[in-house]
Amino acid sequence: MPSPEISSPVSRHPFALLLPEESDRMDHAAAAILPSTRLMENAGWAVARVIRNRFSPRRVTVACGPGNNGGDGYVVARNLARWGWSVRVAALAAPKPGTPAAEMAACWTGLMVPFTAEELAGADLVVDAVFGSGLKRPVADDVAAVLAAAREVVAIDMPSGVAGASGEILGKARDCTLTVTFVRPRPGHVLQPGSDLCGEVICADIGMPDAAWDGITPVVQHNKPGLWSLPVSGDGDYKYRRGVVSLCGGAEMPGATRLSARGARRSGAGLVRISAGEGAPAYRLGDPGLIVDDAPLSELLEDARRKVWICGPGLTEDEVAATLPQLLKADRIVLADAGALAWGAQDLSRLKGVAAVTPHIGEFRKLFGPVEGSRLDAALAAAKRINAVVVMKGPDTIIAAPDGRLAINTHASSALATAGSGDTLTGVIAALLAAGMDVWEGCCAGVWLHGEAGIEAGKAHGGWPLAEDLDLPLGPARATATRLAREAGDKKATGSLL
Ligand SMILES: NC(=O)C1=CN([C@@H]2O[C@H](COP(=O)(O)OP(=O)(O)OC[C@H]3O[C@@H](n4cnc5c(N)ncnc54)[C@H](O)[C@@H]3O)[C@@H](O)[C@H]2O)[C@@H](O)CC1
Ligand SMILES: [K+]
């Protein structure tokens, strides 16, 4: 067999996380352009090459399933054997005659061993080519037990048992040292719990023809600078152009509101004002650059420049009830969080008209009910239900828009798992919306900036920053995002993969 030629196609949809059905459609489109085994040869060769680069020669058993994932496995086995490695194949089932996988199986002339726990346990390294994106139902216990016996595993495309579309575990799946996927990663590589089992994820270029992208508009994106661009600041800036963020401040819990205000101020808002009513004296003791209003909200809403409002952090449900309806009636861009979510959970129609909600998973369940199955699907259904962007916060944050756009953010740190961190995020997003960003893009950008600030604050504070420490790194985070977005644009223009 000749070594495959890996071309470098013009990079389309560089941030896409391909759903299995999108990847299937691309495969079908490619089959009309290339010989049917070409991509399988390229995929198997790419995996073998990664293994050769990462491991010294050792005893390898390739566990092959009946589909194309198994077909890739036979190619891996052939290439490793060609390079002098000791390789065996353990087939769960033979591929269907006449398929490309059957053709690849026929090219394997090396040792076949039974698909048993003993055989896999006897290898130094197991290549999991049992199920990939074609996983349709839970992996049977006996199959999972065989894979569980392996000492170390490299997965082709997905660890068997991890759903590519959602990261859910179907049946059982085991942890891998690395996972080599193709063309673009899948949501399952970045969404927990599946992402925890993938190990390092390497996405190989297998020479997918550019034309195979025609008609594919990937639904899910990996949240990175370049997916969105931050508003550009310049010499002609003044505070109202940079944007005004207003917050409803409660009388009992000023801390949360102040953290949101800081997040907004450090993220470029030109002016940040708190509508504090009777609570005004407490806020006036805080940051001098924060404007504190004690006039009635109805009066403050006469100022049309105050378009973007945060309602919820630091508010009791009664305080939300006294403010949120007024903001919505005045047609403001409202970010609802914390207390506003608790109030909205009693009657979802109370949130009708908000631009975005930012619940963590517990708040999400209270608002929209239990999450069964894919969290991506749940977030999207919720966004459509309330016609607002939903930011489902967590270690892997999902940002869903009612028009169907979905992004997954993994740029975060466990340093963000501290009280008050979410209040800062709301402020960051509000500043970006006040500067004129689209709501979904502003939420994506805000989540990334907040993640970057958390990573940097973690480094600066020995891994244990406070929510109060997140605001200072927000300025540098913005500069980093701007640089990375520019670099992403350059790479796209030159056609290289990101
Ligand atoms: N564009 C790409 O990404 C490419 C993908 N290729 C490979 O093609 C794979 C997808 O191939 P297929 O669609 O054939 O899917 P798979 O090979 O993942 O599995 C499909 C087979 O497994 C069976 N099956 C599914 N779940 C099962 C379960 N729980 N228990 C028992 N049997 C089960 C199905 O009935 C079917 O026979 C990818 O994962 C990748 O490895 C490459 O060959 C070429 C390019
Ligand atoms: K696999």
Q: For the segment 187-221, what is each residue's pLDDT rounded down to a tens digit?
A: 999 999 999 999 999 999 999 999 999 999 999 99
Unique residue bearing structure tokens 């450090």? 266
Report the alpha-carbon distance of residue 88 to residue 78 in Å, rounded. Answer: 10
Q: What is the mean pLDDT of residues 303-317?
A: 96
Residue 407: band (very low, low, confident or very high) from pLDDT cuts 50, 70, 90: very high
**475 lies in some domain:** yes
Report the alpha-carbon distance of residue 38 to residue 30 in Å, rounded. Answer: 9
**Which residue's CA is the closest to the ligand 1 atom numbered 16?**
134
The answer to whether residues 411 and 452 touch, using CB atoms and an 8 Å cutoff, is yes
**357 lies in some domain:** yes
Residue 152: band (very low, low, confident or very high) from pLDDT cuts 50, 70, 90: very high
How much is the pLDDT for 3?
37
- Segment (H or E) for 429: helix 421-434
Pocket test for ligand 1, best of 12, 41, 96, 135 (most atoms within 8 A of CB): 135
DSSP letters, 204-228, are: E-----GGGGTT---SEEE--BTTB
What total of structural domains would you count in the chain? 2
Sequence-ordered list of residues with C-beta below 8 angstroms from that of 349, at least 6 positions apart, any chain: none
Residue 6: band (very low, low, confident or very high) from pLDDT cuts 50, 70, 90: very low
Residue 157 in contact with ligand 1 by CB distance below 6 A: yes
The answer to whether residues 114 and 199 belong to one domain is yes
How much is the pLDDT for 417?
83
**Which residue's CA is the closest to the ligand 1 atom numbered 3?**
182
Other Cβ atoms within 10 Å of 287 Cβ, number: 13
Residue 283: band (very low, low, confident or very high) from pLDDT cuts 50, 70, 90: very high
- Backbone dihedral angles phi then psi of residue 69, each to the nearest 5 degrees: -60, -45
Report the alpha-carbon distance of residue 93 to residue 428 in Å, rounded. Answer: 53
Residue 287 known to bind ligand: no
The answer to whether residues 81 and 197 belong to one domain is yes
Q: For the segment 166-191, what is each residue's pLDDT rounded down to a tens digit?
A: 999 999 999 999 999 999 999 999 99
**186 lies in some domain:** yes
**225 lies in some domain:** no
The answer to whether residues 198 and 243 belong to one domain is no
Angle between helix axes 474-494 and 254-266 (nearest 10 degrees) is 40
Q: Report the CATH number at residue 403.
A: 3.40.1190.20
- Backbone dihedral angles phi then psi of residue 148, each to the nearest 5 degrees: -65, -25
Report the alpha-carbon distance of residue 229 to residue 443 in Å, rounded. Answer: 12
**430 lies in some domain:** yes
**226 lies in some domain:** no
Pocket test for ligand 1, best of 25, 136, 168 (most atoms within 8 A of CB): 136
pTM of the model: 0.94
Q: Of the candidates 218, 248, 272, which is a domain's last residue?
A: 218
How much is the pLDDT for 319?
97
Pocket test for ligand 1, best of 33, 39, 131, 206 (most atoms within 8 A of CB): 131
Q: For the segment 329-388, what is each residue's pLDDT rounded down to a tens digit?
A: 999 999 999 999 999 999 999 999 999 999 999 999 999 999 999 999 999 999 999 999
**Which residue's CA is the closest to the ligand 1 atom numbered 13?**
134
Output the CA angle 127-94-86, nearest 5 degrees: 35
The answer to whether residues 354 and 420 belong to one domain is yes
Other Cβ atoms within 10 Å of 232 Cβ, number: 8
Residue 166 known to bind ligand: no
Report the alpha-carbon distance of residue 250 to residue 435 in Å, rounded. Answer: 25
The answer to whether residues 157 and 279 belong to one domain is no
Sequence-ordered list of residues with C-beta below 8 angstroms from that of 99, at least 6 positions apart, any chain: 68, 71
Residue 66 in contact with ligand 1 by CB distance below 6 A: yes
**227 lies in some domain:** no
pLDDT cut 90: percent of the chain above it: 87
484 or 4, higher pLDDT: 484
Q: For the segment 227-241, what is each residue's pLDDT rounded down to a tens digit?
A: 999 988 777 788 888
- The answer to whether the peptide bond before residue 193 is cis (omega within 30 degrees of 0) is yes
Q: Tell me the pLDDT of the chain averaged across its residues.
A: 94
**Which residue's CA is the closest to the ligand 1 atom numbered 25?**
135
Q: What is the mean pLDDT of residues 148-156?
A: 98
Residue 131 in contact with ligand 1 by CB distance below 6 A: yes
Nearest to 109 by CA among 84, 83, 142, 74: 74
Q: From ligand 2's centre to the CA of 151, what distance in Å?
A: 16
The answer to whether residues 206 and 325 belong to one domain is no
Residue 459 belongs to what domain range?
Answer: 239-491
Q: What is the mean pLDDT of residues 422-432?
A: 97
The answer to whether residues 270 and 132 belong to one domain is no
The answer to whether residues 307 and 416 belong to one domain is yes
Cα torsion 154, 157, 161, 167: sign: positive
Q: Report the CATH number at residue 27.
A: 3.40.50.10260
Query: Which DSSP letter does residue 95 get?
Result: P
Report the alpha-carbon distance of residue 158 to residue 132 in Å, rounded. Answer: 5
